[in-house]
């Protein structure tokens, strides 16, 4: 069966404090670790009332410390926001503390608005345009120590120097990252849950053009999808109403906490808003375990991912945990052996 993983945004819900979302992330990680999920990734977002965690490296350490089997990583670090040396140091530290259990996923986007992106980068050496490739190259050089003689960084060492960087993954929602990941021989994760680009095209493109490297001998593609599962289709649809209203607001630039089911059901939707909701449902898989498995299978068959990564945003934390339990049931997940 296909391995299952989790992408967690530490979603803030209306009427609760962001700190509760962080604690819920730790609780969810413990839960899915016990179910046999293979990976737990944290995202980086800034200045969003709906997302509690702007620092995935901090959350990675907290979650790795309270879990036993699951790999923990970033989905991802937005590399343009950070000096590559800082990223190298932090993830070497994490790998040293939790050897063999850390992933370094990298993204190109700022994960925020323009003003916040400027505030994050204003003290860095800013360059005009997209400097992701330059930053990625520098990050790799901190690992390989191939700065040429005479380079200002030649004698600078990313500590701890007895620990390698964890596996690097490139994240994307278009064909750019799939092409780049294939060229440099790294893992690739495609964000189906918000991409407008065709997932099958990106995944097949990556696999067909992959070039083995020191980072990875063979391609490994992760398909990230949004799912909401409950015991029945009707209950899952009820839970998904929060997602529907939240997505409608996001499309208007309103990044508010995730609304409750009651708030979403009471909202007076116009015909055009209902049309938008139906359109957005193309990126969300809702239903009972059997229904979601049936909906997902054609996409899995066509894109042939090595791993399915699920993001589940529902108002009630216990319902979210149950959704991941039911997803594990739908795909016949085997629990890890006791430590």
Over residues 135-152, the mean pLDDT reads 93
Confidence at 114, pLDDT banded by 50, 70, 90: confident
294 CB-near residues (< 8 Å, 6+ apart): none
Q: Is the pLDDT of residue 337 over 60?
A: no
Least confident residue range of 46-60, 101-115, 142-156, 318-332: 101-115
**What percent of the chain has pLDDT above 70?**
96
Our measurement of the distance from residue 167's CA atom to the centroid of its chain's CA atoms, rounded to an integer in Å, reads 15
Q: Residue 14 above 80 pLDDT?
A: yes
Contact 280, 269 (CB under 8 A): no
**What pLDDT digit, counting tens, does each position of 58-100 carry?**
999 999 999 999 999 999 999 989 999 999 999 999 999 999 9
pLDDT for residue 339: 40
Handedness of CA 169, 170, 172, 177 (dihedral sign): negative
Tell me the average pLDDT of the chain: 93
Residue 122: per-residue pLDDT: 66
**Separation of alpha carbons 314 and 242, rounded Å:** 7
Beta partners for 11? Answer: 51
Which among 51, 191, 223, 34 is positioned nearest to 107, based on CA atoms?
A: 191
Report domain 4-233+285-331's class: alpha beta
pLDDT of 43: 95
Peptide bond into 160 cis (omega under 30): yes
Alpha-carbon span 1 to 107, nearest angstrom:
28
| Alpha-carbon span 19 to 214, nearest angstrom | 40
Give the SS3 label for residue 172. strand
Q: What pLDDT score was predicted for residue 1? A: 87
- The whole-number pLDDT of residue 194 equals 87
Cis peptide before 261 (omega within 30 of 0): no
Are the C-beta atoms of 56 and 104 separated by less than 8 Å?
Answer: no
**Average pLDDT of 142-161?**
93
Q: Which two tokens stand for residue 221?
A: 């593609």
Place of tokens 């930053």: 135
- 74 within 8 A of 40, measured Cβ to Cβ: no
Stated as kind and residue range, the H or E segment containing 205 is: helix 199-209
Rg of the chain over all Cα atoms, to the nearest angstrom: 20
- Give 181-220 pLDDT, tens digit per residue: 999 999 999 999 988 899 999 999 999 999 999 999 999 9
Q: For the chain, give the number of residues.
A: 339
Question: pTM of the predicted model, to two decimals?
Answer: 0.93
Residue 262 half-sphere exposure, CB side, CA atoms within 13 Å?
3
Please check the confidence at residue 174 and state whether its pLDDT lies above 90: no
Query: DSSP class of residue 281?
Result: G
Residue that the structure tokens 């979403």 belong to: 264
Task: Give dist(CA 52, CA 49) in Å, integer.
Answer: 7
Domain ranges of the chain: 4-233+285-331
Q: Exposure string (b/e) for 162-184, b if CB count within 10 Å is 16 or more?
A: ebebbbbbbbbbbeebbbbbbeb
């Amino acid at each position: 069966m296909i391995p299952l993983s989790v992408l967690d945004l530490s979603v803030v819900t209306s009427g609760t404090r962001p700190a509760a979302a962080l604690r819920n992330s730790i609780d969810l990680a413990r839960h899915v670790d016990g179910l046999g999920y293979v990976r737990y990734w944290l995202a980086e977002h800034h200045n969003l009332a709906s997302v509690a965690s702007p620092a995935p490296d901090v959350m990675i350490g907290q979650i790795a410390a309270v879990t036993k089997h699951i790999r923990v990583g970033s989905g991802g670090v937005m590399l343009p926001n950070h000096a590559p040396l800082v990223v190298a140091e932090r993830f070497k530290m994490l790998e040293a503390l939790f050897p063999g259990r850390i992933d370094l996923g990298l993204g190109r986007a700022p994960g925020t608005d323009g003003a916040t992106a400027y505030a994050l980068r204003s003290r860095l050496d800013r360059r005009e345009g997209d400097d992701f490739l330059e930053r990625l190259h520098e990050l790799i050089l901190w690992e390989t120590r191939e700065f040429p003689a005479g380079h200002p960084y030649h004698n600078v060492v990313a500590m701890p120097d007895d620990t390698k960087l964890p596996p690097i993954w490139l994240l994307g929602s278009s064909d750019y990252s799939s092409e780049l990941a294939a060229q440099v021989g790294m893992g690739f994760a495609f964000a189906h849950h918000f991409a407008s680009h065709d997932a099958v095209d990106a995944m097949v493109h990556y696999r067909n053009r992959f070039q083995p490297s020191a980072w990875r001998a063979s391609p490994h593609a992760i398909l990230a999808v949004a799912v909401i599962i409950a015991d029945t289709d009707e209950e899952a649809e009820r839970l998904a109403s929060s997602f529907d209203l939240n997505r409608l607001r996001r499309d208007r630039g309103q990044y508010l906490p995730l609304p409750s089911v009651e708030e979403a059901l009471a909202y007076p939707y116009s015909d055009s808003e209902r049309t938008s909701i139906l359109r957005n449902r193309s990126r969300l898989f809702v239903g009972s375990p059997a229904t979601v498995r049936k909906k997902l299978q054609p996409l899995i068959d066509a894109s042939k991912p090595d791993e399915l990564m699920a993001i589940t945003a529902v108002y009630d934390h216990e319902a979210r945990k149950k959704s991941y339990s039911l997803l594990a049931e739908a795909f016949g997940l085997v629990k890890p052996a006791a430590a």
